[in-house]
Amino acid sequence: MGKTVVRQSQAGIAIAMLMTFSTLVACESGQGSPAGTASEETKTAGIEDKPLGEADLERAAITDTDLDGYEVNRILAAPAASRRTADPAECAPVVQALGGSSGFTATARIGRMISSKEHGPGASMILSSHSAGDAARVIDALRTAAKRCKTFKDIGVGFRYDEAVLQPDPGYGDESVSLRLTQLAADSEDDEPVRVPYAVVAVRQGATVAMFYEFNRPRGPRGEDPAVVPEEIIKAQLNKLSEPAVSKRP
C-alpha cells in the first residue's frame, strides 16, 4: 500500500512536468509545412480567407470581459511547426494537438489559459493563423490520426495514451474535430500509471485554427470523469473571431 502511494505521488510530479511541457510546446522549433503539402490545392469553403497576423489574433482572442466566470491569461506560443513525435508515427498529430499545436508552420500563433473562477473545467487554447490551405490540412491530419490511433506513445515525454476516441463532429466553425483520450502517467514502466482524462477540440474558422485542450487532475473533483472543454469557451472564441473588425479587415 505504501509503495502504491509513493508511486502515485511520483506520477503526480510527472503530470505536473507534462503540463509545463504542454504549455511550452508551442515554442518548439520546426521546419514549416510537411513536405509535399504546401503547393496542394484546397477548395474547402472559406479557406481562401487571408491569414491573420499576430496583432489580429491578439485582438481576436477572448479576454475576461468576454467570459463571465472565467479568468483568461496568456501562455507562450510560437508559429513554428511542432516537432513532437509519436509511436506509431501516424499518431503525431494527436500528440501535437495535446499542446495546441500541429505539424504545420503558422503565420502567427498565440495562446491563452482559461480558468474557471468556480473550480469548474476550463481549457488551454492556441489560436493559429495559417497560409491558404494549411488550416484545412491541420484539421484533416488531426481527424485522420484520431480515427486510426486508439493507443500510442508520446516519444518526447515517454507517456502512453489509450482509449482515444473520435467524438461526433460538434459542428463548430467551418469544420471541427473533437476527441477524448486517457494519458497513462508514470515515472517508469514498473510503476502503476495514473490515468489522466484529456479532451481536445479543434476548430477551423476561415484560415484560423482554434485548438482547445483540457485534462482532469486525478485527485481533483472530476477525477476519472471524461474531460470536457466547456462549450461556452469555444462559442465565445468563435463569436469573437467572426466580428467584422477581425474577419473583414482591409
Determine the pLDDT at residue 246. 59
Determine the pLDDT at residue 222. 64
CB 113 within 8 A of CB 104: no
Quote the pTM value: 0.80
Q: What is the 3-state secondary structure (H, E, C) of the chain?
A: CHHHHHHHHHHHHHHHHHHHHHHHHHHCCCCCCCCCCCCCCCCCCCCCCCCCCHHHHHHHCCCHHHCCCEEEEEECCCCCCCCCCEECHHHHHHHHHCCCCCCCCCCEEEEEEEEECCCCCCEEEEEEECCCCHHHHHHHHHHHHHHHCCCEEECCCCCEEEEEEECCCCCCCCEEEEEEEEEEECCCCCCCCEEEEEEEEEEEECCEEEEEEEECCCCCCCCCCCCCCCHHHHHHHHHHHCCHHHHCCC
CB 27 within 8 A of CB 79: no
Determine the pLDDT at residue 39. 34
Query: What percent of the chain shows pLDDT beyond 70?
Result: 75
Mean pLDDT across the chain, nearest whole number?
Answer: 82
Where is pLDDT greater, at 64 or 27? 64
- Does the structure show a pLDDT above 60 at 37? no
Dihedral sign computed on CA atoms, order 213, 218, 223, 225:
positive
pLDDT confidence band for 134 (50 / 70 / 90): very high
- Does the structure show a pLDDT above 80 at 227? yes
Per residue in 169-181, pLDDT (tens digit) is 999 999 999 999 9
pLDDT confidence band for 21 (50 / 70 / 90): very low
pLDDT confidence band for 160 (50 / 70 / 90): very high
Q: Which residues pair with 99 in a beta bridge?
A: none
CA–CA dist 171, 193 (Å, integer): 34
Determine the pLDDT at residue 221. 59
- What average pLDDT score do residues 38-46 get? 38
CA–CA dist 98, 75 (Å, integer): 14
- What average pLDDT score do residues 118-144 get? 94
- What average pLDDT score do residues 24-34 get? 40
- What average pLDDT score do residues 21-38 get? 39
Per residue in 59-108, pLDDT (tens digit) is 999 999 999 999 999 999 999 999 999 999 999 999 999 999 999 999 99
How many Å is the Cα radius of gyration of the chain? 18
